[in-house]
Amino acid sequence: MKYKILILLIPLIFIAGLFIFADSNLQSNLGPSADVLSLESSRSAAARQESKPAFSRGFSLGENLIQEKIKNQEKLNIIILGYGGENHAGAYLTDTIILGQIDCGGKEVKLVNIPRDLWVENRKINSIYADRQKAEDLIAILEDDLNLTIDLWVTIDFDGFRSIIDEFGGIEILVQKGFDDYNYPRNDNDQVDAGVMHIHFDQGWQKMDGEQALRYARSRYGVEDGGDFNRSFRQQQVLVAIKNELLKAQNIWRYFSLFKIVRDNFSTNLTTNEMWSLWDYLRNDPDLKIEDKIISTDNFLYASHTSDGAYILLPKGGNFKAIQQYLDF
């Protein structure tokens, strides 16, 4: 099912863009400066020499990376990393890795979910970010293996989504297939409680609070709807619902209550200018052609196990050339 890039970016960009109205003291936790990144991907030193933490550059009118891409009708690559956050088992394992490309000349968008169990550098890809909480570590590997450049990155604490959903009083989700998961973690931190519990979702429209939506998005072992690929679909559904709630809000003051959530759970190398430029571009061009790219065992991957029995995914043929051609980034 096709989802516009707005689904992925509006919950981040719209709230974060409004964040610049808040007290500047709140900006210190929003992310590392782009000019201190050890990897600068496709950003030149000239373009990023004065970069500061996201949103700290206010309303400067200078041309930014997004505007340059649009003016030159070039392609823009973005990666979104989702993780549990503090007080979660595997706090910084990026169980959601979404790669997106906006073709500013062809009016097209490509989306691809990178499987969490993909085996790279002798480890699962979802463990790369966990070492130092630096997006550039994971970006370097993806750029090398997939032969592409990544311009922008966003990291999201899943607890932030839970808090945002509760702030809106819940979200409406269409459960396309009811399911039971008898192995859902009883506690986010298995050091506190390593037990499991049963969760159930009925088919049809459901009103979910933050905790219910988080369970819906994180469940992997549903009898009728299990696995990472189904979970990725449900995560996108949650993003759709959050986007819908954001667009319903009539009073700007409602967004101010979300600023602390954004500060504590959201990081990016996007500057304030780039946030607004990207938001404006997507908002004024809602009919972008969307192409979903799926990488799975049905096409380019095969399942295997490590010497200690861990489940992993490997590229067929022993390299990523076929995947590179398929993505065409």
- Flag the least confident range among 11-25, 175-189, 195-209, 216-230: 11-25
Q: What b/e string do you get for 113-129 counting C-beta neighbours within 10 Å, with b at 16 or more? A: bbbbbbbbeebbbbbbb
Domain membership of residue 228 (yes or no) is no
Rounded CA separation 91/89 (Å): 5
User: What would the pLDDT profile of 56-76 be if each residue is shown by its tens digit?
Assistant: 333 444 568 989 998 999 999
Does residue 90 fall inside a structural domain?
Answer: yes
Residue 107 backbone dihedrals phi, psi, to 5 degrees: 55, 40
pLDDT of amino acid 90: 82
Which of 55-64, 99-108, 156-165, 273-282 ranks highest by mean pLDDT? 99-108
* pLDDT beyond 80 at 16: no
pLDDT at 100 (0 to 100): 86
Alpha carbon distance 292, 219 (integer Å): 22
Q: Which of 12-21, 193-202, 270-279 has the highest mean pLDDT?
A: 193-202
CATH number at residue 314: 3.40.630.190
Structure token digits, residue 254: 């409602």
Predicted confidence (pLDDT) per residue in 278-320, tens digit = 777 766 665 667 777 888 898 999 999 999 999 999 999 999 9
Looking at the 3D structure of the chain, how many domains does it have? Answer: 1
**279 found inside a domain:** yes
CB contact set of 197 (below 8 Å; sequence gap of 6+): 184, 185, 186
Q: Which domain holds residue 20?
A: 5-168+243-327
Q: What mean pLDDT, rounded, does the chain reach?
A: 76
Q: Select from 17, 270, 66 the least CA-distant residue to 154.
A: 270
Q: What is the pLDDT of residue 311?
A: 94
What is the mean predicted confidence (pLDDT) over 31-37? 33
Average pLDDT over residues 222-234: 75
CA torsion 182-184-187-193 (nearest 10°) is 50
In 10 A of CB 61, how many CB atoms? 6
Is position 226 within any domain? Answer: no
Q: Are 42 and 149 in contact (CB under 8 A)?
A: yes
What does the pLDDT average to over 91-106?
87
Q: Is the per-residue pLDDT at 31 higher than 70?
A: no
C-alpha distances (whole Å) from 227 to each of 70, 97, 241, 296, 317 are 38, 15, 22, 11, 24
Give the model's confidence band at 33: pLDDT under 50 very low, under 70 low, under 90 confident, else very high.
very low
CB 122 within 8 A of CB 312: no
Please give the pLDDT value at position 194: 72
Asked whether residue 223 is assigned to any structural domain, the reply reads no
User: For the ranges 31-45, 62-76, 145-159, 240-254, which has the lowest average pLDDT?
Assistant: 31-45
Q: How confident is the model at residue 7 (pLDDT cuts 50, 70, 90)?
A: very low
Identity of the amino acid at 83: Y
Strand order in 289-294's β-sheet? 266-268, 152-157, 75-83, 94-103, 108-113, 289-294
Compare 271 and 321 and report the one with higher pLDDT. Answer: 321
Lowest mean pLDDT of 83-97, 142-156, 222-236, 266-280, name the range.
222-236
**pLDDT value for 283:** 65
SS3 309: coil
User: From CA 200, how far away is CA 222, in angstroms rounded?
Assistant: 9
The reply to whether 209 falls in a domain is: no
Q: pTM for the full model?
A: 0.71
Spatial CA neighbour of 77 closest among 51, 52, 43 = 43
Collapsed DSSP state (helix, strand, coil) of residue 301:
strand
Task: Report DSSP letters for 78-133, one per residue.
Answer: EEEEEE--TTSTTTT-EEEEEEEEEETTTTEEEEEEPPTTBEETTEEGGGHHHHH-
259 — pLDDT class (breaks 50, 70, 90): low
Rounded CA-CA distance 237/285 in Å is 22
Examine residue 162 and state whether it is found in any structural domain, yes or no: yes
Q: What is the Cα gyration radius of the chain? A: 19
Counting every residue, how long is the chain? 329
- Residue 300 makes CB contacts below 8 A (sequence gap 6+) with 315, 316, 322, 323, 326
Identify whether 309 is part of a domain. Answer: yes
